[in-house]
């Protein structure tokens, strides 16, 4: 088998492979002979069909199968021979005029994984996030718990921030309707900016029950609905009601509602603090991990195969589409290219982490896996059964092992790094990073 390699770019390769005609012919003959023992052809007893008859009936089909399988097997033989690591499937091109009396020759275009001589890990500048739960943080959390259980009382007063209005509206563009232009009984809590049009919330400040109001809002050019993208939409709004929030009193009765067994407000504060400290621990760990992986990425600039980025972008698109569908959002125009930047980061990190693990012989700690399973199962009524469930299925256990290995990689990076502390408030610590270095 003859093989020649051309480097088209840093990671792109063009490989020409020549397979001897004898190899293909021999395999074709072997398969045809095998068919003489099993083929059922009218006029011949089973196992007595002449080879030439079998060849007349099945020859073309067998030849096509053999050529296809030979291309596949010879490609992987060639990349092993040339010590190449293909990333993704190759694109195979045959000459337009294949001569079956000559050796088979084809061209394979593909990308290879980058060669990473040594992953840089020494003296990375990493910020380690630190924070603590204060009494004020606990008070704020208790207010949020009260706010989640608030009631509403209708009022004749003008609507202010924090009030709830229930509205009907009809939207038009140049006097014409558009898809989704009419909504009835829509509840809005003013000032929360959770509605897709914050301008509508601010425009409703000061309204009263049974009032009508006209609002003109300019929509962004990239809005998902092309009928209104970049246009001014006029909304005719009717206010059905205005309501003021009614917060429950912070007392022992409120503690009982939240499931505190002894009904004590002080016990509630203790349990809330413990939950906050547990969540804070994981949040700080996540932020430090993000900082460590970002530093690793910055210190190791590598090229990545486009095919891997495309695959990652396609998965991100599919995940986003599923999330939007679950939220009832159907009209969206998403493309894989929109996920390319983040997908490139994830692919780079995946390659760097895999190489780092190999170069430094980092192995999954069975003890740490058991500790993680203890932490996971401790929240269930029967922890031992949960642990057995994980250990009973290899795929489940592998997911936990992958998480543990990632934590070990982060610990390894931190052990080599120049660490500085980054003081955060509880709220800042709990905010997710807007852009993740790794998923």
Q: Answer whether residue 408 is part of any domain.
A: yes
pLDDT at 437: 42
Q: Which of 59-68, 73-82, 325-334 has the lowest mean pLDDT?
A: 325-334
Domain hosting 242: range is: 151-246
Residues 103 and 188 in one domain: no
Residues 393-414: pLDDT tens digits?
999 999 999 999 999 999 999 9
DSSP code for 220: P
Residues 8 and 94 in one domain: yes
Residues 265 and 320 in one domain: yes
Residues 95 and 201 in one domain: no
Residues 200 and 287 in one domain: no
The tokens describing 367, both together, are: 């003890």
Residues 47-67: pLDDT tens digits?
888 888 888 888 889 988 998
Mean predicted confidence (pLDDT) in 212-219: 93
Residues 241 and 269 in one domain: no
Residues 197 and 338 in one domain: no
Residue that finishes a domain, picked among 217, 246, 275: 246
Flag whether the pTM goes above 0.75.
no
Q: Which runs of consecutive H residues, i.e. helices, occur in 104-257?
A: 135-148, 198-203, 252-257
pLDDT at 368: 94
Contact indicator for 351, 302 with CB cutoff of 8 Å: yes
Q: How far apart are CA 163 and CA 168, in angstroms?
A: 17
User: Is the pLDDT confidence value at 196 over 80?
Assistant: no
Q: Answer whether residue 76 is part of any domain.
A: yes
Residues 288 and 380 in one domain: yes
Residues 325 and 238 in one domain: no
Q: Answer whether residue 160 is part of any domain.
A: yes
Q: Answer whether residue 379 is part of any domain.
A: yes
CATH number of the domain that residue 281 is part of: 1.10.3120
Residues 290 and 388 in one domain: yes
CATH number of the domain that residue 170 is part of: 3.10.50.40
Residues 63 and 171 in one domain: no
Contact indicator for 212, 266 with CB cutoff of 8 Å: no
Q: How far apart are CA 298 and CA 119, in angstroms?
A: 11
Residues 265 and 191 in one domain: no
Q: Answer whether residue 140 is part of any domain.
A: no
pLDDT at 48: 82
Confidence band of 97 (pLDDT split at 50, 70, 90): low
Q: How far apart are CA 211 and CA 111, in angstroms?
A: 65
Confidence band of 224 (pLDDT split at 50, 70, 90): confident
Q: Answer whether residue 120 is part of any domain.
A: no
pLDDT at 226: 86
CATH number of the domain that residue 62 is part of: 3.30.70.1050
User: Is the pLDDT confidence value at 381 over 80?
Assistant: yes
Please give the tally of structural domains in the chain: 3
Task: Give the chain's mean pLDDT.
Answer: 90
Residue that finishes a domain, picked among 197, 217, 246: 246
pLDDT at 111: 96
Residue that finishes a domain, picked among 246, 271, 295: 246
Q: How far apart are CA 323 and CA 315, in angstroms?
A: 12
Q: Answer whether residue 436 is part of any domain.
A: no
* CB burial string 219-256: b at 16+ within 10 A, e below: beeeeebebbeebebebebebbbbbbeeeeebebebbe
Q: Answer whether residue 407 is part of any domain.
A: yes
């Amino acid at each position: 088998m003859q093989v020649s390699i051309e480097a088209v770019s840093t990671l792109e390769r063009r490989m020409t492979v020549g397979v001897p005609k004898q190899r293909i012919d021999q395999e074709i003959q072997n398969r045809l002979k095998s068919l003489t023992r099993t083929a059922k052809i009218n006029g011949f007893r089973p196992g007595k069909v002449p080879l030439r008859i079998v060849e007349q009936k099945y020859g073309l089909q067998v030849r096509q199968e053999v050529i296809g399988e030979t291309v596949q097997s010879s490609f992987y033989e060639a990349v092993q021979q040339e010590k190449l690591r293909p990333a993704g499937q190759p694109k195979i091109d045959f000459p337009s005029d294949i001569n079956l009396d000559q050796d088979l020759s084809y061209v394979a275009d593909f990308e290879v994984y980058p060669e990473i001589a040594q992953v840089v890990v020494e003296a990375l500048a990493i910020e380690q996030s630190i924070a603590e739960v204060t009494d004020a943080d606990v008070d704020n959390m208790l207010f949020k718990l009260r706010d989640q259980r608030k009631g509403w009382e209708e009022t004749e007063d003008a609507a202010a921030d924090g009030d709830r209005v229930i509205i009907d509206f009809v939207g038009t563009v140049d006097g014409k309707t558009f898809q989704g232009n009419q909504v009835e009984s829509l509840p809005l809590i003013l000032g929360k900016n959770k509605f897709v049009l914050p301008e509508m919330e601010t425009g409703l400040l000061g309204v009263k029950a049974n009032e009508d109001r006209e609002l003109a809002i300019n929509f962004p050019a990239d809005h998902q609905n092309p009928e209104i993208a970049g246009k001014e939409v006029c909304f005719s709004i009717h206010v059905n009601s205005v309501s003021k929030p009614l917060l429950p009193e912070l007392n022992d009765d409120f503690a009982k509602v939240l499931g505190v067994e002894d009904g004590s407000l002080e016990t509630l504060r203790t349990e809330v603090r413990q939950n906050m400290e547990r969540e804070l621990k994981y949040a700080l760990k996540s932020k430090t991990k993000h900082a460590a992986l970002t530093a690793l990425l910055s210190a190791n600039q590598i090229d990545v195969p486009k095919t891997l980025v495309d695959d990652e972008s396609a998965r991100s698109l599919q995940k986003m589409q599923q999330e939007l569908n679950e939220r009832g959002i159907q009209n969206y125009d998403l493309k894989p290219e929109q996920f390319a930047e983040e997908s490139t980061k994830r692919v780079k990190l995946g390659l760097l982490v895999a190489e780092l693990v190999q170069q430094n012989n980092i192995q999954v700690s069975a003890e740490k896996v058991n500790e993680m399973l203890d932490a996971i199962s401790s929240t269930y009524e029967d922890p031992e059964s949960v642990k057995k469930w994980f250990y009973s299925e290899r795929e489940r256990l592998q997911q936990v092992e992958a998480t543990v290995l990632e934590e070990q990689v982060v610990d390894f990076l931190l052990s080599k790094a120049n660490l500085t502390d980054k003081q955060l408030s509880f709220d800042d610590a709990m905010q997710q990073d807007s852009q993740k270095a790794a998923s």
